[in-house]
Amino acid sequence: MRIIKPFDPWQGKWCSCPAKYTLNPYTGCAHHCLYCYTTSFIPRPFEVREKPHILKKIEKDLEEIDYSRYLSLSNSSDPYPPEEEKRKLTREILELCREKGLPVLILTKSTLVTRDIDILKTMRAAVSITITTFNSSTARFLEEGAPSPQKRAQALIKLHEAGIPTILRIDPLIPGINDEPEEWKEILSLLSSHLNQVVVSTFKPRPDSWKRMTATFPSLQKTENWYTRKRGNSLYLEDHRRIKLLEEARAVVHSFSLPFSSCREGLATWNDLPCDGSGFIID
């Protein structure tokens, strides 16, 4: 089976990403994010393990793929789990992609990505880092295994200073947790001069993630009837709340003179750039 796969092969109507490939070097993720959607379909989702014979499979796939597309690394796990520090699997994959001239978009919450600046600045690459909240106590519960938001912010600064395009994801926006514009302004006040784009999207719960979220943040139970619209396997905020929240976020992002985009919100006309940050690596 091919290990570098087309992203969203079902061509969801609300997916506004350009045509791209996706690759997850590891199965499972160490961040333990309460809102994670992959726990609904990945066994042992918070147990990180390397895919067998992955480098040989990637080398084979790189001989066959369409190089007009780019590679998204990763979409259902983080390419920089703690194991990567010694294993260096993601680093080896980057070296292969650089050799073949395949553009790479990295999505991560890990500060370990800065280790690979030496490679990233010599290839077509951009890095997207998620900072869901700057509230450290909330973040410790929400994303137990991830580096602190402040450390992630410093990673973005370091990457940008090295000349690598940087994208901030404020994602997901969760009413009752991180939906106050003043919090977004705090994040952007620190980072705006070190960003090329901001991507914002709303929480789309599934039954298991909703159970984890409300067990940890019981106050969210009062918002349960706000999630009324189902698309695929996820629930969406009712439209008037969702669109208002994204309108406010867009206004804040634009107030810092930064491009705004959202993912899987049905609002592609609002996007100033491709929704995932790939506009910096593709022609």
Nearest to 169 by CA among 73, 261, 269: 261
Please say whether the beta carbons of 160 and 148 come within 8 A: no
Nearest to 205 by CA among 29, 37, 12, 38: 37
Close Cβ partners of 186 (under 8 Å, ≥ 6 residues apart): 134
Going along the chain from its start, the domains and CATH numbers come out as 5-280 (3.20.20.70)
CA atoms lying within 13 Å on the CB side of residue 268: 10
Please give the distance of CA 114 from its chain centroid, rounded to a whole number: 16
Give mean pLDDT, residues 124-130. Answer: 98
Global confidence as pTM: 0.96
- At residue 221, the pLDDT reads 97
Q: What is the dihedral of CA 216, 129, 159, 62, to 10 degrees?
A: 130
Task: Return the biggest CA–CA distance within the chain.
Answer: 52
What digits encode the pLDDT tens for the residues 216-254? Answer: 999 999 999 999 889 888 999 999 999 999 999 999 999
What confidence tens digit (pLDDT) does each residue in 43-79 have? 999 999 999 999 999 999 999 999 999 999 999 999 9
Q: Which of 134, 126, 137, 128 is nearest to 97 (CA)?
A: 126
